[in-house]
Amino acid sequence: MASALRVLGIDPGLTRCGVGVVDVRPDRSAALVHVGVVRSGAELPVAERLALIARGLREVLATYRPDVVAVERVFAQQNRSTVMGTAQASGIALLLAAEHGLSAATHTPSEVKAAITGYGSADKRQVQTMVARVLRLDALPQPADAADALAIALCHGWRRDTPAGSTASGTLTPAQRAWADAEKKAARR
């Protein structure tokens, strides 16, 4: 049997950067390795906040040694300062992946939601519930940033050896169809 792929999922944020590490097997089953949040205080200068995030991500990379890194893709929001912080934290995550010689990918929120729930507009609770179910957790992962990081990791891990629109058996589940549709829409943008 092929070995599990260890994926570090990152939900970038300047105040709370969610991190989740999962082992995803070729049969799409997955196991939780680590989940957490790297925090930085809003009162600190941006450079110090980014350094704290980088330090936290370096610790996760060194401790859990992922095979790949998956980061939520920055998307347009109304609040410019939120977008800037998210983009800056995302840049740190992608830089650290490259420094560690790891491939990195980005996934849109709708891609991740479709992969996890079968619905690209799922709410936070639906994502948390499905992540808990997939990873066989006794409780919903908290906070939402941590659950999102796990969802990003699962989304990426499920892509391995399975091009969009196909599965090992050649048939798509409803969740996989929704995911493939979300990927096609994202590619057209």
| DSSP H or E segment with residue 51 | helix 46-64
Domain enclosing residue 9, as ranges: 5-187
Confirm whether residue 27 is marked as ligand binding: no
Q: pLDDT digit string (tens) for 85-109?
A: 899 999 999 999 999 999 999 999 9
CA 70 distance to own-chain centroid: 5
Which residues are known to be catalytic? 11, 72, 145
pLDDT band at 162 (very low <50, low <70, confident <90, very high): very low
Cα atoms in the Cβ-side hemisphere of radius 13 Å centred on 1: 9
Domain count, the chain: 1
Q: Is residue 11 marked as binding?
A: yes
Model confidence pLDDT, tens digit, residues 22-35: 999 999 999 999 99
Q: Which residue has the tokens 């057209």?
A: 188
The CATH number that applies at residue 20 is: 3.30.420.10
Contact 100, 62 (CB under 8 A): no
User: Going along 40-169, which residue ranges are E strands?
Assistant: 68-72, 103-107
Any known ligand binding at 145?
yes
